[in-house]
Each structure stands twice: as C-alpha cells, then as structure tokens.
Homo-oligomer: A and B are copies of this chain.
Amino acid sequence: MDKQAFSRRDMVQLLGVGSIASAVLPTAACAADQPKRKLGYAIVGLGSYATRQIMPRIKECEFARLTALVSGTPEKLERYGSEYNIPRTHRYSYAEYDRIRDNPDIDLVYVILPNSMHAEYSIRASQAGKHVLCEKPMAVSAAECEAMIAAARKANRKLMIGYRSRFEAHNRHAIELVRSGFAGTPALITAEHGFNAQPNQWRLDKPMSGGGSLMDIGIYSLNAARYLAGEEPAEISAMEYTDRSDPRFRTVEDRIDWQMRFPSGLIANCVSRYTSNHNAYRVTGDKGWVGLEPATSYAGQQMWVRANGKTEQRFVPALPKNQFVGQLDHFAECAMSGREPLVPGEEGLRDLRLIEAIYRSAREHRAVKLA
C-alpha cells in the first residue's frame, strides 16, 4: 500500500484544506529538489496515444511527473525508458505489473490499454494501492465498470476516466454558455463523431475492443450529449449499419446512430462512424445555438454560436493548461486532496450502461427505456 498517499490525503482531510494550492503539501521525499510536490504517474500501455499525446506532455504538469512505464514489449520499455529517463527499476512487464505496489514513486496509474484490458489492469492497480486514471471507454461492459469502482473504493483510492474534453477550453465554455441560457432552453443536441478506420488494429477486433465505432469514437458523441444536456437520458433508440463484406468490420460495427430523449424533453441525435469523418456538436434552444466543430479533437477546436438571428464564430481563450495537462494535473490534485474527480468511475459506468442500451436498441429494433 502507498502509505505516503494515504497520509497526504488524511492530512488534507484533517486540516480541512479546501483549495488545491494549499493542499500541495511539501514532503520529505521531494522537498529538496522540487518546489512543489509532484505525484508520480506509471503509464500502462505504450501505444500511440500514450507515447504521442500523453507522455510528451507530462513534463508540463504542475502536480505530476512520469515515474514508471508498463509494457509487454521490451523494446518499448527500453526506448521510452531511455527517452524519459525512467530507471530500469521503474520499468515493468505485464508479468511484473503487480510489483508496482512496492514502488513509492508510483502514486497514479494511467491505463491506456486496449479496451478489454481496462478492467483487469485498473483493478490490479487499485489493489496495489494506486490511484487509477483509465482511458475511455472505461471497460467493455457495465459489469466490469462496477467491479472497477468497487475495487477502487475498497482500496480507498481514486478512480477517474480519461474524458479529456472536460478539461478543454471550448468544451468548458460551451457547457457554460448552455447552462447560462445563451441558447435558451436546450431542445436539440446533435453530436457527430467518426473517422475512416485503418485496417489491422486491435480496435477492429471485438475481443480486444468490446465493440466498434461506438466504443472508440461514438462515445464522444454520447458523453458530449450528456455533459451538454446536464441530465441523464430516459429513452434511447439506435440504428446500425455495417458492411460486413468490408474486412475491417468482420466483428465490430461501422455506423451506429442513436436518439436520446431526456426528462426535460431535450432530444439528442448522435452519430458514430468508422467510414466517414465527423467531429462536431451543436446545442439548439429556443433562443439560438452553441456549437463546436471540430469539437473533441486533440487541438484546433472552433466555436460557432447563433443568437438574435446572427451566426458568428466566437474566440475562446486558452486555459493555462491544455486538455491533456489539465486532466493529468486534475487527477493528481484529486489524489492529493482527496477530492472526487470531475469524471469519476461512475461517469464511465453511465456511458457503458448507455452503450449497452444503444447496442440492444439497434439489435432489437426498438426503443429502450432507461431506469
């Protein structure tokens, strides 16, 4: 167990410290060489997203640093271990994974594996006493999500899902504008995500991915519709089309679009595709609309709004931290302060329950009412 993390959290709670700034407590271990205490991330899975998007940005973090790597490929451990100055003692194969519990430099584990491995490697990290940040989709079933939440709770550790758009300036501003009533009462959300999937990758192998475009990119439409609506859907209806003669789609779906009716009467029309490019959403109310296109890309978001019969682009100032750094730091702060993450495991579970309902609706050609 990570006693250090425990004691920090307990101290913060004991002191009743609310703000993050004051929650950054100096510790004996790092007070000498670092002005602020930084928690250590182990990255689990050294694929493209980890190595190209996440690892290069950890150095920009205020509250976190990269301290360990986990991979099944020795060459990757060697290459990235060397590049990021990770000592050999802090490089792990999957067989050695459970030994992270004995490494006090690892406070946080970021699971960036194929979807079907999320649950196992998150649960084992929780059991090793680490706080877990897990990529979306949280897992390949709601049942797995529930097990992950239970494991983190039992270990008294945090669990967060990598919904990075919640840390992105345009998305945050869109939510604020919608909540402020800029567009009036929201009546329609359209959310569209898709791209042309490259062949021969784990995402197209259902045992690894748990599903097709919906699990991979459609989840952005789903999650955005929920954070823009600010309420949970009451009914869902989906329609799927997949050309099974396309070798990419032998086991996973290509096109799956769905409608969600929310208790307020808001209806969301969502799109998920593996054969065309889409990255946009729009919230329309009785007074106008707020939209992003692209909406959830790594960078380059653009906001367009309409009010008083006029459509215009709206400049959104950058946040001090980009979405990747914001997410990584937020989770470190939560681990330090004991605060609940903005997008905890329960948020990932809600999406997986809806994903299951979307698949069921498409399969059974009927609407699914949600509890």
What is the interface of chain A, defined by CB distance below 8 A to chain B?
Answer: 184, 187-188, 190, 192, 194, 196, 235, 237, 239, 241-243, 255, 257-259, 261, 265-267, 269, 271, 273, 275-278, 284-286, 288, 365-367, 369
Contacts and interface: CB of A to CB of B under 8 A. Distances in A.
B190 A273 contact: no
A366 B236 CA distance: 11
Given A192-B188, A365-B367, A269 B284 contact: no
Given A235-B365, A243-B265, A365-B367, 8 more contacts: A188-B257, A190-B269, A237-B367, A241-B261, A269-B269, A276-B285, A277-B284, A277-B288
Nearest to A261: B239
Contacts of A273: 187-188
A277 B311 CA distance: 12
Nearest to A270: B269
Contacts of A257: 188, 259, 267, 269
A19 B166 CA distance: 61
A127 to B, nearest CB: 43
A276 B286 contact: yes
Nearest to A366: B366
A276 B184 CA distance: 9
A267 B255 contact: yes
A188 B284 CA distance: 20
A99 B144 CA distance: 75
Q: How many copies does the complex hold?
A: 2
Which among A276, A285, A367 has the highest number of chain B CB atoms within 10 Å?
A276
A285 B261 CA distance: 27
Contacts of A194: 188
Contacts of A261: 239, 241
Contacts of A284: 276-278
A267 B239 contact: yes
A365 B284 CA distance: 24
A284 to B, nearest CB: 5
B278 A188 contact: yes
A243 B267 CA distance: 13
24 contacts: A187-B255, A187-B273, A188-B255, A188-B271, A188-B276, A190-B190, A235-B365, A237-B237, A237-B259, A239-B261, A241-B261, A241-B265, A255-B267, A257-B259, A257-B267, A257-B269, A258-B259, A259-B259, A259-B269, A269-B269, A275-B286, A278-B284, A366-B366, A366-B367
A255 B259 contact: no
Contact of A259 (B190, B239, B243, B276): B239
Residue from A188, A235, A273, A369 having most chain B Cβ neighbours under 10 A: A188
Contacts of A288: 277
Contacts of A267: 239, 241, 255, 257
Contacts of A255: 187-188, 265, 267
A369 B366 CA distance: 11
Give the 7 A-B CB pairs with smallest separation, nearest first: A365-B367, A366-B366, A241-B265, A187-B276, A269-B269, A239-B259, A276-B284
Nearest to A187: B276
A232 B272 CA distance: 22
A243 B185 CA distance: 13
Contacts of A237: 237, 239, 259, 365, 367
A237 B367 CA distance: 9
A283 to B, nearest CB: 10
